[in-house]
Amino acid sequence: MSEAVVLREQEGRVAVLTINRPSKLNALNQQVRDEMLEHLNAIESDDSVGAVVITGAGEKSFVAGADIQEFEGRSPFDQREAMSFPRIFDVMASFPKPVIAMINGFCLGGGCEMAMSCDMRIASDRARLGQPEIKLGLIPGGGGTQRLPRLVGVGNAMRLILTGDMIPAAEAKDMGLVDMVIPADELRAQTLELANKIAAQSPLTLRVAKEAVRASERLAIEEGILYERDLFCLCFSTEDKKEGVDAFLNKRAPEWKNR
Ligand code: COA
């Protein structure tokens, strides 16, 4: 058995998945994708987990992209097979629990695409982000040409994708590619605090909230608002809505049932 390349830890109600190939700057190879899928499958039905944090091992890199070594000698059909369903980034985007990218260093190519598939991106002040595929004679293939312009606008996305330049975390925050920038030595503590705060909410309601926000990526505003209304009303069928409202009215903390 080869050594695990994705490690799982539990911090309160948060599962931390660490991509563990630091000597290759945590580049994504097939083994990483397979193990990530296995962990997410297990976490999906694990009631002790309310939210997931994804990060990279070591101090230097979150994920420095797809493993370029695997591209060598591949035919277009081999590559297409390697990119067949289920695709890990899409699994993360539609995962029924919140997924947070804790970006501890280089966040490039497939690493940036992985982070963009998460629900939030929290970066260390030492992180550097970019889509350098153009320098390999390639374009982003993990959703980068679609998710990046939605986050940062077409002009910023064009600049990053057409130059392949890396940008520091502060600039990524200014353009909306990351949501928070935190000093490197506080990144884990602050990210876990936020993740546990989220994970303390009703799992059922978190799931519906995420589904509603994700819908904004594909629906026109009118349809999105109607869809939100239906999901809002669906919440009226849950015990957790009854519990949350009752707890507020009786000035006590709610105890979620996940029903
Ligand atoms: N795929 C495979 N291996 C990678 C990799 C990737 N995407 N990124 C880094 N590595 C490997 C390097 O080959 C090197 O391995 P080696 O020690 O066996 O030679 C090791 O990780 C360390 O990387 P190195 O380039 O020596 O570190 P650096 O600090 O000089 O440079 C980067 C860091 C991120 C600028 C540089 O590694 C880089 O440009 N990586 C590729 C980024 C990329 O194009 N990603 C998109 C892929 S589609």
25 CA → ligand 1 middle, Å: 6
Read off φ and ψ for residue 102, nearest 5 degrees: -105, 100
Average pLDDT, the chain: 97
CA distance 102 to 242: 34
Residue 256 belongs to a domain: no
184 with 209, same domain?
no
Q: Are 111 and 232 in a shared domain?
A: no
Q: Is 113 a catalytic residue?
A: yes
Catalytic site residue 70?
no
Q: What's the pLDDT tens digit per position in 81-114?
A: 999 889 999 999 999 999 999 999 999 999 999 9
- Write down the catalytic residue from 38, 133, 211, 255: 133
Distance of CA 17 from the midpoint of ligand 1 (Å):
21
Whether residue 36 is found in the same domain as residue 76: yes
Domain boundary among 182, 199, 216: 199
Q: Is the CB of 67 under 6 A from ligand 1?
A: yes
Residues 208 and 141 in one domain: no
Could you tell me the two tokens for 14? 């948060």
* Same-domain status, 207 and 193: no
Q: pTM for this structure?
A: 0.97
pLDDT of residue 249: 98
Indicate if 178 and 215 belong to the same structural domain: no
- In CATH, what number is assigned to the domain containing residue 223? 1.10.12.10
pLDDT tens digits for range 140-167: 999 999 999 999 999 999 999 999 999 9
Tell which of 176, 199, 222 closes a domain. Answer: 199
Residues 132 and 215 in one domain: no
Looking at the fold, whether 93 and 207 belong to one and the same domain comes out as: no
CA of 125 to the centre of ligand 1 (A): 20
Query: How high is the pLDDT of residue 2?
Result: 80
Whether 259 is in a domain gets the answer no
Domains in the chain, number: 2
Are residues 219 and 110 part of one domain?
no
Phi–psi pair at 10, nearest 5 degrees: -120, 130
Q: Within a domain: residue 92?
A: yes
With a CB cutoff of 8 Å and minimum separation 6, the contacts of 191 are 53, 100, 102, 122, 182
Domain boundary among 199, 217, 240: 199
Tell me whether residue 254 is in a domain: no
Those residues whose C-beta lies under 8 Å from the C-beta of residue 93, and which sit 6 or more positions away, are 117, 118, 214
The residue annotated as part of the active site, out of 3, 59, 113, 223, is 113
Task: Among 5, 21, 24, name the best residue to mutate to test ligand 1's pocket (greatest count of ligand atoms within 8 A of Cβ).
Answer: 24
Instruction: Confirm whether 1 is domain-assigned.
Output: no
61 and 76 both lie in a single domain: yes
For residue 1, the model assigns a pLDDT of 61
Q: Are residues 212 and 127 in the same domain?
A: no
Assign residue 18 the CATH number of its domain.
3.90.226.10
| 16 within domain boundaries | yes
* Residue 3 contacts residue 41 (beta carbons within 8 Å): no
Asked whether residue 22 falls in the same domain as residue 141, the answer is yes
Structural domain includes residue 258: no
Domain ranges, residue 184: 6-199
> Is residue 40 situated within a structural domain?
yes
pLDDT in tens, 197-249: 999 999 999 999 999 999 999 999 999 999 999 999 999 999 999 999 999 99
